[in-house]
A and B are shown apart, each in its own frame.
Chain A
Amino acid sequence: MIGTATLLSESRMRMDRVKIPIGPQHPLLKEPLAFQVTAEGERIVESTLRLGYVHRGIERLCQERTYVQNLHLLERVCGICSHVHTTTYCQAAEALLGLQVPLRGLYLRTLLCELERVHSHLLWFGVLAENIGFTTIFMHAWRDREIALDIMEELSGGRVTHAVNVIGGVRIDIGEAQFQTIISRLYDLESQVHGFLELVEQERTFRARTRDVGHLSAEQVRQYCAVGPVARASGVDVDVRRDAPYAAYNRVPVRVITNDRGDVWARAMVRAQETIESLRLCHQLLIGLPDGPTAVRAPRRVPAGEVVSRAEAPRGEVIYYIRSDGSDQPARVKIRTPTLPSLMTLPDQLRGVHTADISSVLSGVDLCIACADR
């Protein structure tokens, strides 16, 4: 006969280590990803993850389409940073073709990149707020994000997929009337984002939920080759826009934001300050917008060769490798999105964290699973 004491001790032993599955479908995750977290009591000791639930075989599909058709496909790698994918792809194809994109085209391409960063960071801020229980902030962040989305819709016709880039430039232009209304709305948005920055800095509960949570040292960032705001919030000063300027970034210098704390709070600070910096860049791009054409005509066939193209997506460095065999279809397109190295940091970030803080840690990274899966 088993006594009550034995039952209790067995039960305690079983509770010692508990495996908690998170995903592939889970309210905490906006996209499918399978996590398994092992907790000892309330503390996480290890975690594993599995991708592939939205793997669409995009790299393979690129080999079966023309360079022009691939624009349509690659815009759909990511539902948030769609423009930066075609930017990276177009500058790769343009390098192989030896095309010089007109300056006005480069400015407009860069403007969309920065508006996309603004909307992506505000989207992220809302997701983080919702996941740690700040539904009001979620609503405010997403309300204000609409300003950036409206501007992009007016410029391109699309809120999320803009189809602005073409090989050789951009297909949109901007008139004087549009210029004035965009400038005034950007000022409105900037004052709202200053409010969010103040909240991140000072709001007591927000700080309690994010400070000293999900810590990553600069050394851990370097080990996992993490990029973007995750790296910069651990004091690693990297930004492709400054380190290897592309599009019009050599004409509108970027102030790179870093923070040494390495926790979720630091990531929120970096993204909030980056949003303000992006809005400043948008102003500069609009005011300095040069006259002239926005695109040059590109031939269908691309000369044989290889190219490596990099850009700074809202989540960090995105890299494309393209090999051309001289036909109108690429022989290989390789894409690495910034979420992939960020995902590798998660087991380290989660180790030792309280189970209630899983939501802060996962949100803090700004995961884009569709991007990572491709």
Chain B
Amino acid sequence: MNFDLVLESLRDALLLPEIESRPVPIDERFVQIPPERLREAVAVLVNNLELRHLSTITGQDTGQGIELLYHFWHGNGLTLCTTVPYEKPTVDTLMALIPAAAFYEAEVTEMLGVTFVGNADPGPLFLPDDWDGDPPLRKQNAHG
């Protein structure tokens, strides 16, 4: 699928002409989306463009907030990036659009403390039931 068409569709549907993209090796494009518009952006990919393959969600603590990377695949890689603040680390769930988001969201929730609004089963999936520490991939936690 032509990446320019994807970017154009996102800009038109979200009425956000300022959406920017950047190339990332290997053959991947990263597109920055505000967290409150993320669900809409994914709805455009899934419903308008039949772009349904979500490879995974990467969460990372960048020091400025928690960055979420939604890695899609359409013959080339397409990643939607969004950053949620430490004070309110929430974003809408994608489970109604892509059921595969279930495990990926649960993992980001337990490893980084991000809440996916509407995800009825947020884990735990990998951590022990009695884990009472901070989310282990946060930088400012008891593990350094």
Contact = CB atoms under 8 A, between A and B. Distances in A.
Contacts of B28: 307-308
A334 B56 contact: yes
Interface in A72-123: 91-92, 95-96
Contacts of B52: 222-223, 225
Chain B interface residue number, banded: 20 to 34
Given A223-B52, A224-B100, A344-B103, 9 more contacts: A52-B125, A57-B136, A223-B98, A238-B53, A310-B26, A310-B77, A331-B60, A340-B104, A344-B102
A332 B103 CA distance: 20
A244 interface: yes
B29 to A, nearest CB: 10
B53 A225 contact: yes
A373 interface: yes
A87 to B, nearest CB: 12
B40 to A, nearest CB: 20
Secondary structure of the A contact surface, majority rule: mixed
Nearest to A334: B58
Given A224-B99, A225-B54, A317-B55, A55 B24 contact: no
A51 interface: yes
A244 B27 contact: yes
Given A225-B55, A225-B100, A308 B136 contact: no
Interface stretch (B11-19, B68-76, B83-91): B68-76
A343 interface: yes
A96 B28 CA distance: 13
A321 B60 CA distance: 11
Contacts, number: 93
A331 B126 CA distance: 21
B41 interface: no
B82 interface: no
Interface of B: 24-28, 30, 52-56, 58, 60, 69, 71, 73, 75-77, 79, 98-100, 102-104, 124-128, 136-137
A286 B51 CA distance: 38
B119 to A, nearest CB: 14
A306 interface: yes
Interface string A356-374: 0000000000000000010
B55 A306 contact: no
A148 B17 CA distance: 54
B56 A336 contact: yes
Query: Which 6 A-B pairs rank lowest in CB-CB distance, beginning with the nearest?
Result: A336-B56, A225-B100, A95-B25, A334-B58, A52-B126, A308-B28
Contact of B125 (A51, A307, A323): A51
A60 B124 CA distance: 17
A211 to B, nearest CB: 26
Contacts of B102: 344
A59 B60 CA distance: 11
Contacts of B125: 50-52
A291 interface: no
